[in-house]
């Protein structure tokens, strides 16, 4: 199974990457659990591939300017396109996903994520920005026809030092819940269609026939 992690943190180290790593650990731990109910899908995760968008920032900008992705960005696009599941983590800037995060998904083919299980998560300085996940990030993936797990994980600065309270789960519990949801989806879905090596082409007679005026 191919798990790909897309993280848009800008500093190094970044709390966005920290959240991505915790989510990845929780998901791979569950997938490896021999007690977990067996599904129809091969559960062994090939080492999760982490795509740090910071390293691709210039390549993404160049793809906009030139109209094509260079080989480094192409490799990242191919990895996401061929993934069985995705963990996508962004910092929240100005009430939404970061520009770099959106730009990366803009250079993907608009069908690349169709039907793919995606866990969305975000970081921010204050918990006041947490609903950006529901109002900005989730609609982005809905547009791309991905299957987004119900729990979106937001980590505010204070979450790294606090636990649950009487009203909400702590960050640890939310990570586990989201990981469980993604694992369930991954284990009970058919593996994604691999990127087609041979291009499928509609035979010309069919293309022509589709244009004949109705008799």
Q: Residue 122 burial (CB < 10 Å; 0-12/13-18/19+)?
A: buried
* 204: contact with other proteins by CB under 8 A: yes
Which region, judged by CB under 8 A, interacts with other proteins, from 10-18, 35-43, 144-152, 201-209? Answer: 201-209
Tokens of 175: 């990570």
Which H or E run contains 52? Answer: strand 46-52
Both tokens assigned to 153: 């994980």
Please state the closest distance from residue 50 (CB atom) to other proteins, in A. 24
Are residues 97 and 132 in contact, defined by beta-carbon separation less than 8 angstroms?
yes
Return the residues of window 34-63 that contact other proteins according to CB under 8 A: 61-62
Distance CA 123, CA 87 (A): 14
How far is CA 156 from its chain centroid? 20
Query: Could you tell me which residues are beta bridge partners of residue 148?
Result: 118
Q: Is 207 in the site for other proteins (CB under 8 A)?
A: yes
Q: How far is the CB of 128 from other proteins (least distance, A)?
A: 37
Tell the smallest beta-carbon distance from residue 74 to other proteins (Å): 8
Stretch that binds other proteins, among 32-40, 48-56, 125-133, 206-214 (CB under 8 A): 206-214
Please list the residues that pair with 128 across neighbouring strands: none
Establish if 74 lies at the interface with other proteins (CB under 8 A). yes
Selected binder of other proteins within 34, 67, 150, 161 (CB under 8 A):
67
Binding site for other proteins (CB under 8 A): 61-62, 64-68, 70-71, 74, 199, 201-205, 207-208, 210-213
């Amino acid at each position: 199974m191919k798990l790909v992690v897309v993280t848009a943190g800008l500093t190094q180290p970044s709390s966005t990457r920290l959240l991505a790593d915790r989510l990845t650990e929780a998901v791979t731990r569950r997938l490896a659990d021999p007690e977990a109910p067996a599904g129809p899908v091969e559960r062994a995760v090939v080492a999760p591939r982490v795509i740090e968008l910071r390293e691709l920032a210039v390549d993404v900008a160049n793809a906009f300017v030139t109209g094509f992705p260079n080989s480094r960005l192409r490799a990242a696009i191919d990895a996401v396109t061929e993934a069985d599941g995705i963990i996508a983590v962004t910092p929240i800037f100005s009430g939404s996903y970061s520009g770099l995060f959106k730009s990366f998904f803009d250079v993907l083919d608009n069908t690349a994520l169709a039907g793919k299980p995606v866990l969305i998560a975000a970081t921010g300085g204050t918990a006041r920005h947490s609903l950006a996940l529901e109002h900005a990030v989730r609609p982005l993936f809905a547009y791309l026809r991905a299957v987004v797990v119900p729990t979106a994980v937001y980590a505010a600065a204070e979450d790294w030092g606090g636990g649950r309270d009487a009203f909400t789960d702590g960050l640890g519990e939310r990570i586990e819940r989201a990981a469980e949801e993604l694992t369930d989806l991954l284990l009970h879905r058919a593996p994604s269609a691999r990127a087609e090596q041979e291009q499928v082409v509609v035979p010309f007679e069919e293309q022509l026939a589709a244009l004949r005026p109705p008799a």
